[in-house]
């Protein structure tokens, strides 16, 4: 927010002076990523990881299995709900007990819910990940990548084992999380010609409820929060998405 205000009021050049970006800009970041994956060995290792990780995965959840085909469109609906403070504390405590994050724990719960409702034990969900390097902390820009999370619910496995599997997968993916999603889809296409670019239709995301207008100061504009987002935007990309705030 602070960077956006400075850029609007004083121009992009002021960002370098006031936010101490060490002379770096978004072009430097893009160049660094391109150079990293121009290294054939690193690119091959990343592609090999994702191909192995996504092997034998179902990339979409069949929401209309054994039902009459319905006409679809991109108009969505949001359903808001809140957990009580007590439920939230219990959830976080259980996640810590299992040695994982709240995101991983809720991902496991969401997977089981999808399995129970749609009978699909093999599924892939998309999730956003922050890939902003430390040296770019003050740089204005969108440093987010979208990654696939392959979930396989085994009949005899416990819920704790499912959490452990998802946790291990996310840790293993960390060195390869900045590879562009497009490169993952290209790798999958190279081994499966029938592969569709949009290979998951369910997403899960965690957001931090710490947005504040105090750093957003435009000299000649008045800024106000949108209280009911649904009135402004109701188009969707995924068939189903779970977004939770903490």
Give the per-residue pLDDT at 135.
78
Q: Give the whole-angstrom CA distance, residue 134 versus residue 220.
A: 33
Question: 147 exposed, middle or buried (CB, 10 Å; 0-12, 13-18, 19+)?
Answer: buried
Task: Check: CB of residue 232 under 8 Å from CB of residue 226.
Answer: yes
The token pair that represents 75 in the structure block: 């108009």
Give the per-residue pLDDT at 217.
66
DSSP string, 178-206: TS-HHHHHHHHHHH-TT--S----EEEEE
Give the per-residue pLDDT at 96.
96
Task: Check: CB of residue 15 under 8 Å from CB of residue 1.
Answer: no
Of 245, 196, 214, which is closest to residue 58 (Cα–Cα)?
Answer: 196
**DSSP state, residue 20:** T
Position 1 pLDDT exceeds 80: no
**Start-to-end CA span in the chain (Å):** 20
Lowest mean pLDDT among 123-127, 175-179, 225-229: 225-229
Lowest mean pLDDT among 64-68, 206-210, 241-245: 64-68
The residue assigned the tokens 């999603």 is: 181
User: H-helix or E-strand containing 240?
Assistant: strand 240-245
Q: Give the whole-angstrom CA distance, residue 115 versus residue 65.
A: 13
Give the per-residue pLDDT at 81.
83
């Amino acid at each position: 927010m602070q960077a956006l205000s400075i850029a609007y009021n004083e121009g992009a050049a002021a960002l370098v002076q006031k936010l101490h970006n060490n002379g770096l800009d978004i072009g430097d970041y893009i160049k660094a990523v391109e150079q990293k994956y121009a290294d054939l060995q690193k690119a091959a290792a990343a592609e090999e990881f994702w191909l192995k990780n996504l092997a034998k995965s179902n990339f979409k959840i069949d929401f209309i299995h054994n039902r009459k085909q319905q006409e679809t469109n991109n108009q969505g609906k949001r359903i808001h709900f809140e957990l009580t403070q007590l439920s939230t504390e219990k959830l976080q405590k259980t996640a810590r007990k299992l040695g994982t994050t709240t995101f991983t724990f809720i991902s496991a719960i969401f997977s089981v819910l999808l399995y129970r409702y749609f009978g699909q034990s093999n599924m892939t969900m998309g999730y956003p990940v922050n890939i902003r390097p430390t040296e770019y902390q003050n740089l204005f820009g969108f440093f987010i990548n979208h990654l696939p999370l392959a979930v396989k619910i085994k009949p005899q496995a416990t819920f704790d084992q499912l959490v452990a599997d998802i946790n291990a997968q996310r840790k293993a993916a960390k060195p390869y999380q900045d590879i562009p999603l497009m490169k993952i889809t290209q790798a999958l296409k190279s081994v499966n010609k029938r592969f569709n670019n949009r290979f998951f239709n369910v997403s899960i995301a965690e957001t931090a409820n710490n947005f504040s207008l105090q750093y957003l100061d435009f000299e000649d504009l008045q800024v106000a929060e949108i209280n009911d987002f649904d009135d402004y935007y109701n188009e969707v990309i995924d068939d189903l998405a779970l977004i939770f705030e903490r």
